[in-house]
Amino acid sequence: MRFSNQGRLHEQVRFLRRQYLQDGALPFSDILTDDFVTQAMTAVEGVWKDRIYTPLMTLWVFLTQVLSADHSCRGAVARLIAHRLSQGQSPCSPETGAYCQARKRLPEKFFAAVTCLVGRALDAKVDVRWLWKGRRVYLFDGTTVIMPDTPENQAAYPQVYNQRRGLGFPIARVGALTSLACGAILNLGVCRYAGKGQGEVSLLRQLWDILQPGDVLLTDRLMANWLNILLLQQRGIELVARLNKANRRADFRRGRRLGRHDHIVRWYKPTSIRSLNWHALKKLPEYITVRETLIPVAQPGFRTKTIVTVTTLLDHQQTTPNDLATLYRARWNNELDLRSIKRTLQMHELRCKTPELVRKEIWTHILAYNLIRTIMAQAAVTHDLLPRSISFKGTVQTLEAFQPIIEGG
């Protein structure tokens, strides 16, 4: 299915590519400061002897590779040669071996560290007007990517169990923790598409350590299970999600009534939890306290007419049902945002032939996205712009908001 805003979206991102790939400067050199790289360099062990492909230069060349329409290593090296000549330096060899070896030597945690530092730096300095009721809200959702069909990729990220051998491509699941205020991705997890401990719930538990007490996590119904809510409450993190009716039903005749179809209720501990043994389960509290709210959906064209949200925000005067409805409406865009990132940055089909390089490629794509979001946030501050809805997020929505600025150069 095609969407009317896809053409405009691609055109605007092409503008950003031209601006940062053809102006003679290294891409995003004003944002990728020495502080970011110095902190990330702690992940690089030993002495780096290469005079041309230093860690920072290797990262920049990789960025041009993922942002360019020509994703080949040869094209990336050619752009480096053009940059060196424009700066009055001698050209390096046009062979790609040195660049590929330098990219391989850089550890994955270097790419991860730079990406997370850029995203968290942007999130830390967002305008207070971009927050939701003075709180920082983070969204979690997952998506999938495919990669070249090599033996190494197949071993690390095999195809789904019901797919015939030799058909299709290796597939990986990617989970992203995104700031609702600025749209930056703060952390990322990669795992197999299927298997024990390989789902989105497991990815979320690997990533939520960066959340702080008082933050709000906005997720889909899969994350609204008893154990997740308990673990988040123990960390002081609030949850807003949709009730998973496959596991629980909302009965508004019970609990403490706050209003029509709005109540506080106890969720009693399940008799068994697959990830816990009997002794660990016995030590957990007998129940947790949550709030359930029925929200009507009046948006024309929406298939769902009502949803039930479950949240640990129990104060109905500070957080009204309308507040919950507005907030959860923003979550519905998250899957579309992830799809837009994949399509716009050409990330839906990766190109590296080993699992480690695949993960580095994913991190570099997300780094490019966070850098672009930083530029947009700077423009928003300069032009005193506010988001179209409650948040300054969403690739499509944000780029549309900047259409006059981009057209004017």
pLDDT per residue as tens digits for the range 76-115: 898 888 888 887 888 888 898 989 998 888 889 889 999 9
Last residue within a domain, chosen from 310, 339, 368: 339
Q: Are residues 207 and 274 in the same domain?
A: yes
Instruction: Count structural domains, the chain.
Output: 2
Instruction: Evaluate if residue 390 carries a pLDDT over 50.
Output: no
Confidence grade of residue 46 (pLDDT, cut at 50, 70, 90): low
Q: How far apart are CA 241 and CA 256, in angstroms?
A: 20
- Is 345 inside any structural domain? no
Q: Which of 26, 132, 122 is nearest to 369 (CA)?
A: 122
Q: Are residues 173 and 59 in the same domain?
A: no
- Is 262 inside any structural domain? yes
Q: Are residues 94 and 148 in the same domain?
A: no
Look at 409 and 38; give whichever has higher pLDDT. 38
Confidence grade of residue 409 (pLDDT, cut at 50, 70, 90): very low
Q: Are residues 117 and 82 in the same domain?
A: no
Look at 368 and 67; give whichever has higher pLDDT. 368
Domain CATH number, residue 167 = 3.90.350
Query: Which of 9-13, 176-180, 198-202, 366-370 shows the lowest per-residue confidence on average (mean pLDDT)?
Result: 9-13
Q: Provide the domain limits for residue 13.
A: 6-109+360-408
What is the reported pLDDT for 9? 40
- Is 347 inside any structural domain? no
Q: How far apart are CA 234 and CA 361, in angstroms?
A: 35
Q: Are residues 252 and 400 in the same domain?
A: no
What is the reported pLDDT for 321? 92
Look at 359 and 369; give whichever has higher pLDDT. 359
Please write the tens of the pLDDT for every residue from 207-251.
Answer: 999 999 999 999 988 888 899 999 999 999 999 999 988 788 888
Q: Are 310 and 242 in contact (CB under 8 A)?
A: yes
98: tokens are 């040195």
Sequence-ordered list of residues with C-beta below 8 angstroms from that of 52, at least 6 positions apart, any chain: 92, 98
Last residue within a domain, chosen from 282, 308, 339: 339
Highest mean pLDDT among 28-42, 164-178, 327-341: 164-178
- Is 140 inside any structural domain? yes
Which residue is associated with the tokens 């950003």?
A: 16
What is the reported pLDDT for 307? 86
